[in-house]
Structure 1
């Protein structure tokens, strides 16, 4: 009879195998879009784009007040690729659970990654959605406390709470996926042999163009956060806003 320790060891072993790029899953390659292999390449590229943007977003947290426009702009840039990655992953999940042969052959990810997936999607979309909502609401409404389950919380608090959850689950997800993603995209000829490169490129270009438009729109709507910064910053020494990290509209 298997014990909880045995099950835990198997889960950890599966996670480590996936994280080190030694997994034995083989994605079928199908024309014209690439099938599961094309889906995996698109997901990997989108994931790397998100990684770069999230690193930039995290850097703005060192002075979120002083870098509020950058924080908003990068946050907006994150939305379309996050939706694209969610759609690509969802397509693969749908293919597997509806019994489509190529995706059944590819099989599911390791159990730990399967558990993390919904949490990563929910926390990422929740983080971005709450950030966009804060910009649209403005600072006064964003900081106003509302009662939920007997507790008075603001949308800023919600955003910060989702951010904390996102850090944990996405950090684990990153450990398990970063090396396989690099192997799929950067290794010589890795993605070039998979059909559908033009379609994947167009999807990424459309996501990038949409991201730029969204960034421009949201930066133009962050005026209330900007006005508050300039009003409160009068008479304060340069760099004083680094101490206001937790008070920012996002992160």
Structure 2
């Protein structure tokens, strides 16, 4: 194949770097999918599950940063002409065009959510509309993004865990540690900020925190 022909002129070290980044992206994507599923469950009953919605959202933040970092690295290295990434080739055109849209919507979604948590009355209430609207657009874009990368993610994500493949590319422990560290940082964020949902409930549900938490 043409891709194999291009790879023959690239050093094994360069190709290993591409594979390492791809494994980090795939492993992080699996963690994100699990957390996003749980976050989606909270939306079904947002008022009684608001604390969980906020906590999971905050846990997601550092994991999202790792994912954006690994995909941005691939993007930058490819367009800067790194031989390993050029040999691997870009994603399909549709997914390449969708990528920046997903990034922008992801940043808007999480930034508006954190801003709402810190200042529920921010922008005269328009922050809540921005958060909801960005979620709808983000969900549609992410559905296409996930489906487009599902096979690649399923292929790459287990490689750092399986004894047969984890040693074929150096750095598996560091990549796994980075994912775990992002979850620990996210848990710390959740522990520090989830309590602010009480003020959010007072602003948007017009009830004291104790009453809001019991559904009255």
The whole-number CA distance in structure 2 between the counterparts of 1:129 and 1:234 is 27
Deviation at 1:192, TM superposition (A): 4.6
Judge conservation of contact 1:77–1:211 (CA < 8 Å) in 2.
yes
Pairing 1:77-88 to 2, within 5 Å after superposition: 77-88=59-70
Tell me the secondary structure at the aligned position of residue 231 of structure 1.
Answer: coil
Instruction: Select between 89-98 and 182-191 the one with higher mean Cα deviation.
Output: 182-191
Answer yes or no: is the 8 Å Cα contact 1:120–1:170 preserved in 2: yes
Q: What is the distance in 2 between the residues matched to 1:103 and 1:90?
A: 12
Per-residue deviation, residues 75-124 of structure 1 (Å, max 9, x unmatched): 00111011101010111111111111111111111101101111111111
Q: 1:101 to 1:74 in 2, by over 3 A?
A: same
Q: Which residue of 2 aligns with 1:225?
A: 200
* TM-score (structure 1 length as normaliser): 0.73
How much does 1:166 deviate?
Answer: 0.4
**Distance change >3 Å, CA 211–CA 125, structure 1 → 2:** same
Partner SS state of residue 66, structure 2: helix
Give 1:58's match in structure 2, choosing from 40, 57, 75.
Answer: 40
Determine if contact 2:14/2:83 at 8 Å carries over to the other structure: no
**Structure 1: runs of 5+ lacking an equivalent:** 1-23, 146-153, 241-251
Q: Give the equivalent residue in structure 2 for 1:182.
A: 154
Q: Is the 8 A contact 2:201 2:209 kept in 1?
A: no
- The aligned residue for residue 12 of structure 1 is none
Shift in CA distance, 35/160, structure 1 to aligned 2, threshold 3 Å: same
Correspondence for 1:105 among 78, 87, 91: 87
Mapping for residues 65-144 of structure 1, pairs under 5 Å: 65-138=47-120, 141-142=121-122, 144=124
Greater helix fraction, Structure 1 or Structure 2: 2
Structure 2 unaligned blocks of 5 or more: none
For residue 169 of structure 2, give the secondary structure of its aligned residue in structure 1: coil
Q: Call closer, same or farther: CA 1:225–1:30 in 2, change over 3 Å.
A: farther
Distance in structure 1 (CA, Å) of the matches to 2:108 and 2:211: 37
TM-score by length of 2: 0.84
Distance in structure 2 (CA, Å) of the matches to 1:30 and 1:208: 32
Whether contact under 8 Å (2:39, 2:53) holds in the other structure is yes
Deviations 1:112-156 (A, max 9, x none): 110111111111121111111100003xx14834xxxxxxxx110
The alignment of Structure 1 onto Structure 2 pairs a total of residues equal to 206
1:232 CA drift (Å): 7.0
The separation in 2 between residues aligned to 1:32 and 1:167, in whole angstroms, is 35
